Amino acid sequence: ANILGIQAAQHAFPELKHVAVFDTAFHQTMPSHAYRYAIPAEYYEKHGVRRYGFHGTSYRYVAQEAGRVLNRDSNRLALVIAHLGNGASISAVLNGKSQDTSMGLTPLEGLVMGTRSGDIDPSLFSFLSENFAMSVEQTTNMLNRQSGLLGLSGLSNDCRTLEAAAKEGHAGATLALEVFAYRLAKYIGAMTVAGGRLDALV
């Protein structure tokens, strides 16, 4: 889909230079202990299976903007930045460079999101296969599109709806918001470790 968009733009504006910006690029400064999975090395060495992270263009901008707002050099700040929305992630940015982030090989890893589960036990795949005859594709789809705030609440992936429902006593909405906040708080602590110190939480 992205390539189709590029091709359409090249066709419409052939005289212009076209540039692709990958939002994983910002996280290429992560140290190996942050991006490597604890699986056999050959999967990384031969196939590049590692944590890549996402939302990098957002993190780069927000880190610079935080420096401006704080009247500090963004290249001398230890920040924990939370990118919160239907797709959510968090990153430790030290001196303008990513040290760690919550999303991994795909955007599914990390925080609880609108319809994505975030971190789960990988053995869930075999458990669902053995007990409910769910295929890898079905489980992946469920974890990406039917989980997160929507799955926990049984109501919505929209925090506005969940907050209103929680005030009315909806147990699922309350639980979804509590899980979201709790997992976020745990990750804030973890990202503080990754940065070595904390000057600001954004």
Could you read off the pLDDT of 152-173 as tens digits, one per residue?
Answer: 999 999 999 999 999 999 999 9
Q: What is the CATH number of the domain that holds 69?
A: 3.30.420.40
Structural domain boundaries, residue 19: 1-201
Number of structural domains the chain divides into: 1
Could you read off the pLDDT of 20-62 as tens digits, one per residue?
Answer: 889 999 999 999 999 999 999 999 999 999 999 999 999 999 9
Q: Please tell me the pTM assigned to this model.
A: 0.92
Contacts of 190 (CB under 8 A, 6+ apart): 100
**158 catalytically annotated:** no
- Cα–Cα distance, 144 to 152 (Å, whole number): 13
16 Ramachandran zone, left/alpha/beta (phi>0; psi -120 to 50)? beta
For residues 72 and 199, is the Cβ–Cβ distance under 8 A?
A: yes
Burial class (CB in 10 A: 0-12, 13-18, 19+), 36: middle
Q: What is the pLDDT of residue 1?
A: 86
For residues 25 and 54, is the Cβ–Cβ distance under 8 A?
A: no
- Cα–Cα distance, 9 to 7 (Å, whole number): 5
List 23, 119, 158, 199, catalytic entry:
23
- Residue 84, pLDDT above cutoff 90: yes
